[in-house]
Chains A and B, each alone.
Chain A
Amino acid sequence: MVVDDFRPEAVLGVLANHGVRCILIGGFAAVIHGSPYLTTDVDVVPARDEENLERLSAALTEMHARAWTPSEPEGLPFDHSPRSLADVKVWNLVTDHGRLDITFTPSGTDGFEDLSRDARHLTILGVPVLVASLPDLIRSKEAAGREKDRLVLPVLRRIVDETGT
């Protein structure tokens, strides 16, 4: 099955409709803060409590989430019980509405509780979204230390300087 739709607001809408507590991070969060580097996947950090993981699992079922693997880019069905979800550091998923990455503790952070302190509550295309703060995104990218993160850091730091974020 080829993913024939990409609507980030639909991915986040399903999560919101199921009451999943999560924070948008990664490229989309950075773009919302002004980054010029566009991405085509949604990255979220969910809260790790069992109730939230159950809601997350239900949302993943509705989106027909499948686990991306290098040999199966269209994704494979996988067990997403609350326990199995929490056991994996990063989930790269393919959904009916596009790519979704789930990370519980992004580099340099302690996860949802840590990031939620400075996150912004926004409504984007009618969907309530909690967006990680720019300093938190910078902190995480700095800690990840990947080449692609190093490339984007100068402009993110400049946005902080210019906007006083």
Chain B
Amino acid sequence: MRGGSLIKEARRRAGLTQEELGERLHTTQSALARLERGRTEPSFARVAAAIRACGLELVPTLTAVDESDWSVASVNLRVGPDERVRRHQAALRFAAAGREAMRRGGR
């Protein structure tokens, strides 16, 4: 995730306009817009300060890389919405059959 996106998310969550947050950060609305759009990449300290100015705290967490969800999403992105729905229908069909088998007991 880009720093600018985080700032935008925090600003919107705080209900602030770019002008209002710009004032709090002693910068201009246009400079903030460039940050949020990713035209300029802010430092970590800058992102943390902007989020704090929105009344929120940036709490970093370190976690192991996990590609499992993205590996599914990236395959889904290769097909259109109709096919994505069809795949979920296939998943549902299998899941329903699995639950029915579980209900019957198995061993």
Contacts and interface: CB of A to CB of B under 8 A. Distances in A.
A33 B90 CA distance: 18
A40 B102 contact: no
Interface residues of A, number: 37
A155 to B, nearest CB: 15
Interface in A130-155: 131, 146-148
Nearest to B66: A146
Given A3-B78, A41-B72, A120 B95 contact: no
Given A32-B102, A73-B78, A122-B102, A41 B87 contact: no
Chain A contact residues: helix, strand, loop or mixed = mixed
Q: Which 4 residue pairs across A and B have the least CB separation, nearest first?
A: A32-B98, A73-B74, A122-B101, A6-B87
Given A68-B75, A125-B94, 16 more contacts: A6-B87, A6-B90, A7-B94, A28-B98, A32-B99, A33-B102, A38-B91, A40-B87, A41-B71, A41-B72, A68-B74, A73-B75, A90-B68, A121-B106, A131-B106, A147-B63
